């Protein structure tokens, strides 16, 4: 078993040549003058993005080591390893009407669910999604939370049908907040910093629940936040409600994060804090991981121009907010050095984030002979006209970035499992282990998902990987937050 997870150091430093994909081989045989000039850019990109098995093993080892260092002391590693204060997970006995507010990116969701206990479980669920105006992402704290509370109040007014609040009760909500927070209790936490393109003033250093409570008060909304959770924690809770073998949850969407169930004995920085069940959920904040990542000049340039240079490097290589932007930067280089799209470079192509990850995913789904969809997407998103050879090269760039992202994400998952295996003295890999996955990137980008699963299988080998189930938990963070609100309700079920 150890030979699979821990190869000799000499192997870990080895980096094999980048194998050519069948598409690239075909492209080399049918190059035009413009695509031939751009080929060196593609070849170097594929070399710099290569993720051979020894490199992935090194990533997994580094992830496990950084997790352990982050559990030993605050600030011990890039990974914050934040205590969630979720010491008990939903059992299925929860009853009543509970809400959830899920804030984790450019949209937020409001949700309500009626729980019927062990026999009826989830009776019904409703949710709405609301887009956050761009100006509020860089506005003031009061402006953002007033907007959120107003949407929540409007949603509550539509309550009816199967959704019934028992007499004498105030409404309770779980608050999924997918940004780095220093949790101080199950219903309070201090915002460390904004990520994912947010730069709201007046919130860092404040209790995020107090910010929401004050905004709900200004809206006249009688509602109590009974659980503050990260989206990964909520996803784990939502998936665990149906499957007792869920031990890890990963979000791969606009941003990325992971959490897992940890024994309190393995957390030195707890300093005597007890858990009724002997276990708790740790929010890793793995987006900040950086140890050993294969970065390109495009990653470094994008990072340098970001609002948080030098931070969230793992997130910037594997999450949905950034994959399309990396591809765009590569295409600009190809257009400049190889005239891939003709002599003129459209201004739209030179606009940061003009090409989104949904664009590159859609281009990879185009199986037509002339790649018509690829041409249309390129023109609409970036303003470029393209011939067939240029489109083939664009698809190859998309695949290169998606492959690196998916395989690095898979290595991170194995790193978490490896850490759990080492601390549990060999019982993790001997039984069924479920990793709950949520997020639009994982759900809607099939090539990315395949690369992730393949990396996990390669790292663990056929026998061990047969016990690891990577399962999509759609909308898990929303229902999970409502379930944790129920678990921590001030009322008896």
Please give the CATH architecture assigned to the domain spanning 2-70+290-472.
Answer: 3-Layer(aba) Sandwich (3.40)
Domain residue limits, the chain: 2-70+290-472, 84-241+474-487
- pLDDT (0 to 100) of residue 293: 98
Q: Where are the alpha helices (DSSP H) in 6-72?
A: 9-12, 22-29, 33-48, 53-72
Cβ density class 349-362: b for 16+ within 10 Å, e for less:
bbeeebbbbbbbbb
Contact 442, 472 (CB under 8 A): yes
Domain at 84-241+474-487, CATH homologous superfamily? ATPase, nucleotide binding domain (3.30.420.40)
Average pLDDT per 10 consecutive residues for the chain, totaling 493 residues: 33 40 54 75 97 98 98 95 87 89 88 88 91 94 96 94 87 90 90 88 94 95 92 91 92 93 90 73 95 98 95 97 98 91 92 97 96 96 94 97 98 97 78 93 97 98 93 83 90 65
Q: How far apart are CA 61 and CA 416, in angstroms?
A: 9
pLDDT at 384: 94
Strand ordering across the sheet containing 122-131:
122-131, 107-116, 95-103, 171-177, 223-229
Whether 401 contacts 327, CB under 8 Å: yes
Q: Which of 61, 66, 102, 231 is catalytic?
A: 231
- Identify any residues that bridge with 110 across adjacent strands, giving them in sequence order: 101, 128
pLDDT of residue 120: 84
Closest by Cα among 124, 126, 125, 119 to 94: 119
Max alpha carbon distance in the chain (Å)? 76
pLDDT of residue 14: 31
CA–CA gap between residue 253 and residue 311 (Å, rounded) = 18
Element (H, E) at 173: strand 171-177
Q: Tell me what pLDDT residue 17 has.
A: 43
Q: Is 196 a catalytic residue?
A: yes
Of the candidates 80, 196, 279, 316, the residue annotated as catalytic is 196
Distance CA(182)–CA(84), nearest Å, equals 9
CA distance 95 to 99: 12
Please report the pLDDT score of residue 196 as a whole number.
79
* Structure-token pair, residue 146: 């007033």
Q: Could you give phi then psi for residue 302, rounded to 5 degrees? A: -65, -45
Residue 233: both structure tokens together: 């924690």
What is the residue-wise DSSP string for 331-370?
A: HHHHHHHH-TT-S---TTTTSTT-S-HHHHHHHHT--STT
Q: Does the annotation count 299 as an active-site position?
A: no
Rounded alpha-carbon distances, angstroms, from residue 185 to 104, 209, 228? 20, 11, 8
Find the Cα–Cα–Cα–Cα dihedral 401, 406, 407, 411, rounded to 10°.
140
Q: How far apart are CA 470 and CA 453, in angstroms?
A: 8
Using an 8 Å Cβ cutoff, are 222 and 159 in contact?
no
Model pLDDT, residue 15: 38
């Amino acid at each position: 078993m150890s030979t699979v997870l821990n190869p000799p150091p000499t192997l870990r430093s080895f980096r094999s040549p980048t194998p050519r994909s069948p598409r690239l081989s075909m492209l080399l045989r049918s190059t035009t003058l413009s695509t031939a000039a751009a080929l060196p850019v593609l070849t170097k990109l594929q070399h710099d993005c290569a993720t051979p098995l020894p490199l992935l093993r090194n990533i997994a080892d580094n992830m496990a080591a950084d997790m352990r260092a982050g559990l030993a002391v605050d600030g011990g590693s890039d990974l914050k390893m934040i205590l969630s204060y979720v010491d008990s997970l939903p059992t299925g006995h929860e009853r009543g009407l509970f809400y959830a507010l899920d804030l984790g990116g450019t949209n937020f969701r409001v949700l309500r669910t009626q729980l019927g206990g062990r026999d009826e479980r989830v009776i019904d669920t409703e949710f709405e999604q609301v887009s956050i105006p761009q100006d509020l992402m860089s506005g003031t704290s009061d402006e953002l939370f007033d907007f959120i509370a107003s949407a929540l109040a409007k949603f509550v007014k539509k309550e009816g049908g199967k959704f019934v609040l028992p007499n004498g009760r105030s409404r309770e909500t779980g608050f999924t907040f997918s940004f780095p927070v220093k949790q101080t209790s199950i219903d309070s936490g201090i915002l460390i910093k904004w990520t994912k393109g947010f730069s709201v003033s007046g919130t860092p250093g404040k209790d995020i629940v107090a910010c929401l409570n004050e905004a709900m008060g200004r809206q006249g909304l009688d509602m109590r936040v009974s659980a503050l959770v990260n989206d990964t924690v909520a996803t784990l809770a939502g998936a665990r409600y149906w499957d007792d073998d869920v031990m890890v949850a990963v979000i791969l969407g606009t941003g990325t994060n992971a959490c897992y169930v940890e024994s309190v004995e393995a957390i030195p920085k707890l300093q005597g804090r007890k858990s009724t069940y002997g276990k708790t959920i740790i929010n890793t904040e793995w987006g900040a991981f950086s140890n050993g990542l294969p970065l390109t000049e495009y990653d470094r340039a994008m990072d340098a121009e970001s609002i948080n240079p030098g931070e969230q490097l793992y997130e910037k290589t594997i999450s949905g907010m950034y994959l399309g932007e990396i591809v765009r930067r590569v295409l600009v280089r190809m257009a400049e050095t190889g005239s891939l799209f003709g002599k003129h470079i459209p201004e739209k192509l030179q606009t940061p984030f003009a090409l989104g990850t949904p664009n590159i995913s859609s281009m990879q789904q185009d199986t037509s002979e002339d790649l018509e969809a690829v041409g249309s997407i390129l023109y609409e998103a970036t303003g470029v006209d393209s011939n067939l050879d240029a489109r083939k090269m664009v698809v190859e760039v998309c695949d290169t970035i998606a492959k690196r992202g998916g395989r690095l994400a898979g290595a991170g998952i194995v790193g978490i499992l490896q850490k759990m295996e080492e601390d549990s003295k060999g019982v993790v890999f001997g039984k069924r282990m479920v990793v709950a996955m949520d997020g639009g990137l994982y759900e809607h980008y099939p090539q990315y998902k395949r690369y992730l699963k393949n990396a996990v299988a390669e790292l663990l080998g056929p026998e061990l990987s047969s016990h690891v189930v990577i399962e999509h938990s759609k909308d898990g963070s929303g229902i999970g937050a409502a379930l944790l609100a129920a678990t921590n309700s001030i009322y008896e079920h």
